[in-house]
Amino acid sequence: MSTRPKTHKPALSLFLCALLCACSTAPQSGPPVSSVEHLDLQRYAGTWYEIGSFPMFFQRQCIANTIANYTIEPQGRVGVHNQCQTKDGVDKADGIAEVADGGNSARLRVSFFRPFWADYWVIGLDPEYRWALVGNPNRRYLWLLSRSKTLPREQLDAALLIAGQQGFDLSNLHYTTQN
């Protein structure tokens, strides 16, 4: 298997961002989704392993080992580096995130191709930052992230309980292979 990095083509990046923006502005059903009260971006920075997610178009080629790495950039922005294993090697995408208007540090907006931005809300967070649950206000996407490649059952259950209480349809959750 080749480990040659592949980068999204501009047309695909444009489509990806348009799709994310469309998803973030679609009407929601049920009570409003809420984010955690506070996110310490310094503690949140670093590598996260995807434990599960709602399948998204731009992740269709990913077969395993999906990770996200966040770095603190100047002016409080967050560098976003996503990577996954594909049948042909490794796929990568780089973007930027920033705290959304309103100042709640757990409500970010992310862009992989400006000027398109999408909501990135941390809706569940382990007090020790061992796992994080990320979604958006219309419940179209959800990611369960962990600092380790596996998540103990009790932590998984705690995260899934939060997602269910927030109205996310967990029958859409697909677990990610990490090896």
**Where does the pLDDT of residue 135 fall: very low under 50, low under 70, confident under 90, or very high at 90 and above?**
very high
What CATH number does residue 11 fall under?
2.40.128.20
If one compares 104 and 165, the residue with the highest pLDDT of the two is 165
Please give the torsion angle defined by the CA atoms of residues 25, 130, 147 and 114, in that order, rounded to the nearest 10 degrees.
20
Residue 110 to residues 59, 78, 94, 150, Cα–Cα distance (Å):
16, 9, 10, 26
**How many domains, in total, are found in the chain?**
1
Position 54, amino acid? F
Q: What is the pLDDT of residues 72-106, one digit of tens each?
A: 998 889 999 999 999 999 999 999 999 997 777 89
- What's the pTM value of the predicted model, to 2 decimals? 0.83
Element spanning 113, H or E: strand 107-113
- Domain extent, residue 37, equals 5-175
